[in-house]
Amino acid sequence: MKKCIFRTVVIIATFLSTQFIANAQKLLPVTQHGKLSVEGGKIVDSSGSIVQLRGISLSWSIWGGRKYYNAKVVKWLKKDFDINVIRIAMAVEPDSGYLKDPVKQEELVTKVIDEAIKQGIYVLLDWHDHHADQHVSESKVFFKKMAKKYAGVPNMIYEIWNEPARVSWAVIKSYALEIIPEIRNSDPDALIIVGSSNWDQDVDITAKDPITGYSNIAYSFHFYASDPGHQEKLMAKADDAIAMGLPIFVTEWGVGEANGDGIFDTEKTDKWLNWLERNKLSWANWNLTDKKETTALLLPGAGINGSWPLKMLSKSGLYIRKQLRTLNK
């Protein structure tokens, strides 16, 4: 009888333990939402429900931001900031960027990608280049390699051109149609984010002539909440695009001004954040660095391995951390 009772207790304990682990796993963003796709002008999860990702963009993968491209930082951002997406801003043109040192850049971004996958969050892999139309062959090589390496991994999102500068939508679209097949050949269902003209602001122009022939394509929209030129007029452009059915992912936005510095107007920032929530748009905030500027989330000298005390977060960092911990709970 005692053996029977003991066996029953063990079975129940094992079942409860299994259920606890299963429930814990469900809390992981990728486990909860699965593969992302585009339906009806919205980004949806594997069940067809609109999904809203909220997270942080790392800074350029060179200069001072490079030191935060490590597993401990990713783990801390997931644990303490409660991010469900991380953006990797892989530098392309500047010295030490991909054009000059592709091997080290690939090694750097791969470390972040692998840890993000381990943490169960989404990865926005950004070709951080203002002149991607001038580097088509290099971009093809990079995205072909990454798509092959991570084929079928639901965490992966590909942002193929960051903030096109002074080029038309026709040029951007032509570039996208060169790069998309390189990803699709290995990962036919991956979510791909395409840029828009005027530093990812003219989404209303894009909406009139979107890419056809490929599924699961969304478009990036950028703004800087306190910038005098990024207020009602810019918001209206995005509203028009949304009304036309354009699926939008705000792959970069900051609390300051367009140069990354300037004022931090909390009233304007709250207005933009409320707009993001009202439209259920996914976003990544710029940026994780300890540079002395308004949009930097860390204060100068912040450690390179995460575990930052609140006193090492900037005003921007404290604001974004609070929003993420509230909205992603």
Q: What is the mean pLDDT of the chain?
A: 93
- How far is it, in rounded angstroms, from Cα 169 to Cα 138? 21
Confidence of residue 27 (pLDDT cuts 50, 70, 90): confident
- How far is it, in rounded angstroms, from Cα 67 to Cα 110? 14
115 is known as an active-site residue: no
pLDDT of residue 8: 41
pLDDT surpassing 60 at residue 43: yes
Confidence of residue 15 (pLDDT cuts 50, 70, 90): very low
Catalytic residue among 159, 163, 182, 257: 163
What tens digit of pLDDT does each residue of 169-182 get?
A: 999 999 999 999 99
Question: What's the chain's Rg over C-alpha atoms?
Answer: 20
Catalytic residue among 115, 159, 182, 252: 252
The residue whose two tokens read 């204060």 is: 299
pLDDT of residue 144: 98
**What is the residue extent of each domain of the chain?**
39-327
163 is known as an active-site residue: yes
pLDDT surpassing 70 at residue 142: yes
In this structure, whether the domain defined by 39-327 belongs to CATH 3.90.1720.10 is answered with no
pTM above 0.75, yes or no: yes
> 207 CB contacts (<8 Å, ≥6 apart)?
240, 241, 244, 245, 246
